[in-house]
Structure 1
Amino acid sequence: MRYRLLGKSGLRVSQIALGTMTFGTAVEWSRPEEECRPVFDAFTEAGGNFIDTANMYTGGESEGIVGRLIKADRDRYVVASKYANAVPGTGDPNAAGMHRKSLTRSLDASLKRLGVDYIDLYFVHWWDFTTPVEEVHRALDDAVSAGKILHVGLSDVPAWVVSRAQAFHDLRGLVPIAAMQLEYSLVQRSIEREHLPLAAAHDIGVTAWSPLAGGILTGKYTRSAESGGNNRMDSMQLQPLDERNRKIAEALDAVADRLGATSGQVALAWIMSRGVIPIVGATRPDQLTDNLRAIDLVLDQDVLAELDAASAFDAGHPYSMLEWDMPMALGYGGMFDQIDIPRFPGRR
C-alpha cells in the first residue's frame, strides 16, 4: 500500500479507500457483518486505512459495523462519514437536509453508531440548495471546534459551492474544505471540467465513488465468457450500458489484456494517475485483493492517452470553444504550440 496526503489536511490516507455501502443487511445488495469482516481484514492486511461510510448506508447498519471493525485499533483508521440524507419514511422533514439541526442530530447519531469520539472526515452528502453555503460551513466549523469532527468535505456538490466555501475559509477563517467526493470513472469524466481544476488550485483531496461504473469497467458485461451471456444490469447501476460506454469498456479490456492485468485494475490505475482516490467496495475478500493490485500498476503516457481518447467526452462551452483554430491562434498570439499551456478539458 502507498499513501497520499488528503489535500492540505495533512492526513495520510491509503491510495484506495474501502467503501462500505454494502455493509449491513437492510437492502438486497448488502451483506451481513460476518461476510464484511473478511473484506475489511483483507483491506487492513494490505495496509489500507481509509474507510468510507455514511449515516444512511443500509439504514445506519454500515456505521455500526464499521465501528465494531475498527474498535480494536480505532486511531489507525481515517474514517469518513456523511450527513444530509435520511432513510425515507421518517415523517420528519428535518431528518434530512444540510441545515444545522440535521447536522447536529446526524453527527451525534453517527458518533454513537460508530462508537467513536470523533470522525476524521465529515462530508455533506449532497447539495440540496435550501441552506446558504455560509450557514452550512459555519455549522461544520462549529463541529470541528467542538472536537466532534476533524476535517470537512463536500460530496456531490457543484464546483461553485466548493469555491464559495473555500472563500469563507480564506477570508473569514472558517475550516478549509479538505476533500470532495464525486462520481468519477472512464465513463463519467464530467468533474474534469470544473472540480479537478478547482481541487488542484486549492489543494483539495478528491475521492471517487463508482470508479468501476457499477461493473461496466470490470469486464462483467463485455467479456462473454465471464458474464456467461448475462447482461442484466445491477439494481444499483447508475451509468447505462449504452453504445458509448460499451465501447469504452471494450477498449479498456483490450488495454488490460495487453498489460496482463484485469480491466478493473486498469480502470482504477487510470483514476489514481489523476491524483484521485477511488472508493472500492467488495462482497468478497478476493475481489478486494484483486482490485488493490491496481496500486502496483503504472500506466505509461501512451496507455493513458489511449484510454483518454477512448473515453473522450463533450466538455461543453467554453472548453469546447478552445478547440477552435481561431481562439487558439488569437488567444496565444499564434504560438499555442510553443507555449506550455496547462491541460484543460477539450484541449487538443
Structure 2
Amino acid sequence: MRYQLLGRSGLRVSELCLGTMTFGTDWGWGANKQESFKIFETYAAAGGNFIDTANRYTEGSSEKFVGEFIENDRDHWVLATKFTLKDRNDDLNFAGNHRKNMMRSVLASLKRLNTEYIDLLWVHLWDNTTPTEEVMRGLDDLVTRGLVNYIGISDTPAWIVSQANTIADFRGWNAFAAIQFEYSLLQRTPERDLIPMARALDLAVTPWGTIGGGALTGKYLREESGRVPEDSPRRNEHSSKIAQTVVEVANELGVTPAQVAVNWSRQRQQVMIPIIGASKATQLQDSLGCLTFRIPDELLLKLNEASKIELGFPHEFLKSDGVKEEAFGGMFEKLDNHRL
C-alpha cells in the first residue's frame, strides 16, 4: 500500500480506504463481529490506515466494531465517520446538517467509537435546509475544540461545495479537504461538475460504489442474485455491456473484474482513493489485488469507450468545433495548453 495526501491537507492516507457499512448484521446482511475483524485484519496487513464509517451504519454497530478494532493503536488509524442521517425516529432535530444535530451526533459517535477525536468528519449528504454558513461554522468549531481534525463532504452538488469552501476561505475557517460520491464505470456523471470542481479546489476524491454494487464483477451476467434488484440501472442492457467489457479486460490481464473496476477509478488524473468494502475477508482480499497492476492505456480507452456519457450543456456546447471557431476564431490552434 502506498500513501497520498488528503487533498489540500497534510494528512497521509493509504491509497485504498476501508468502507465499513458491512460491519454488523443489523440490516439483515453484512458481516458479524468475527468476520468484520477478519476484514479489518486483512486490510491492516496490506498496509491500509484509512477507515470509513458513519453514525447510521448498521444502527451504530459499525462504529462500535471499528472503535474496538483500533483501540490498541488508535493514533495510527485515520478514522472517518459521518453525521447527518437520523438516528432517532420522529424527532426532527435528530437528523440534518444543522448545528444541534451536528454536535449531538458527533458526541454520540465519539462514545460509540470510544475515542476522544475523529480524524475526518464527513457531512453525509446535503439537507437543502441548513444555511451553508451554519454548517461551515459548526464544523470549524468542532476542529477548534479538538474533537475533529479534518472535514469532508459527501453526496452534495458541486456548486454547494464550491460555495462552502469559498466561505470558509474568506472567513478563515477550516475548509473541506475531501469529497465523497458514487463513481464507477456505471456512474460517470460526476465527470460533469463534481470531478472538475474537486481538481480545481484540490479536494481528494474518495469514490464509493466503484464495483457498482457487484454489477461490475460480472456476477449478474451469470444471472446470480444479489443486493442489486433486477430493475436497477446497474442491471439494465447498457450496464451489462459495460460489465461484459470489464470481464473481457480482466481476462486479458489475468486479473479479476473487481480489480479492474477499482483500478479504473484509481487511474484518474487526480487524487482518487476508492472506498472498498466487503462482507467477507476473501472479497476484500480480491479487491486488494488491484494494487499489483495498472490498466494499460489501450485497455483504459476500451473501458472509457464502453462507458462514456454525454457531459451535457454547457460542456458539449463549449467544446464543439462550431462554437470554438465562431466565438474564438481559431485562437486555440495557436495555444499549446488550453482547457476547452
Q: Distance in 2 between matches of 1:171 and 1:235?
A: 46
* Residues 66 and 133 of structure 1, relative CA distance in 2, 3 Å threshold: same
In structure 1, the partner of 2:330 is: 334
Q: Distance in 1 between matches of 2:325 and 2:300?
A: 27
| SS class of match (1:7) | coil
Q: Does 1:181 align with 2:180?
A: yes
CA offset at residue 335 of structure 1? 5.5
CA offset at residue 309 of structure 1? 1.0
In structure 1, the partner of 2:312 is: 316
| SS class of match (2:185) | coil
In structure 1, the partner of 2:25 is: 25
User: Partner letter of residue 16 of structure 2?
Assistant: I
Q: Distance in 2 between matches of 1:308 and 1:2?
A: 25
| SS class of match (1:268) | helix
CA offset at residue 29 of structure 1? 1.4
Q: Does 1:80 align with 2:80?
A: yes
| SS class of match (2:234) | coil
* Residues 323 and 203 of structure 1, relative CA distance in 2, 3 Å threshold: closer
Q: Does 1:242 align with 2:236?
A: yes
Q: Does 1:121 align with 2:120?
A: yes
Picking from 293, 297, 304, the partner of 2:293 is 297
Q: Distance in 2 between matches of 1:169 and 1:328?
A: 36
* Preserved CA contact (<8 Å) 1:22 1:62: yes
User: Partner letter of residue 63 of structure 1?
Assistant: E
CA offset at residue 301 of structure 1? 2.1
* Preserved CA contact (<8 Å) 1:39 1:288: yes
User: Partner letter of residue 278 of structure 2?
Assistant: A
Q: Distance in 2 between matches of 1:311 and 1:255?
A: 13
User: Partner letter of residue 316 of structure 1?
Assistant: G
Q: Distance in 2 between matches of 1:342 and 1:72?
A: 51
Q: Distance in 2 between matches of 1:338 and 1:141?
A: 46
Q: Any unmatched runs of 5+ in structure 1? A: none
Q: Distance in 2 between matches of 1:194 and 1:316?
A: 11
| SS class of match (1:27) | coil
Alignment of 1:99-248 (within 5 A): 99-222=98-221, 224=222, 229-231=223-225, 233-234=227-228, 239-248=233-242
Q: CA RMSD in A?
A: 1.8
* Residues 284 and 342 of structure 1, relative CA distance in 2, 3 Å threshold: farther
User: Partner letter of residue 286 of structure 1?
Assistant: T
* Residues 317 and 279 of structure 1, relative CA distance in 2, 3 Å threshold: same
Q: Distance in 2 between matches of 1:235 and 1:114?
A: 33
Which is further off, 334-343 or 268-277? 334-343
Which is further off, 25-34 or 132-141? 25-34
TM-superposition CA deviations, 1:229-274 (whole Å, max 9, x none):
4355536996431111111111111111111111111111111111
* Preserved CA contact (<8 Å) 1:98 1:124: yes
* Residues 288 and 202 of structure 1, relative CA distance in 2, 3 Å threshold: same
CA offset at residue 116 of structure 1? 0.7
| SS class of match (2:22) | coil
CA offset at residue 296 of structure 1? 2.2
| SS class of match (1:180) | strand
Number of equivalent positions: 338
* Preserved CA contact (<8 Å) 1:179 1:204: yes
In structure 2, the partner of 1:276 is: 272
User: Partner letter of residue 317 of structure 2?
Assistant: M
In structure 1, the partner of 2:253 is: 259
Q: Any unmatched runs of 5+ in structure 2? A: none
Q: Distance in 2 between matches of 1:343 and 1:219?
A: 36
TM-superposition CA deviations, 1:296-325 (whole Å, max 9, x none):
221222222221111111211001213432
* Residues 326 and 46 of structure 1, relative CA distance in 2, 3 Å threshold: same
Q: Distance in 2 between matches of 1:162 and 1:139?
A: 15
* Residues 20 and 106 of structure 1, relative CA distance in 2, 3 Å threshold: same
TM-score using structure 1 length = 0.92
TM-score using structure 2 length = 0.95
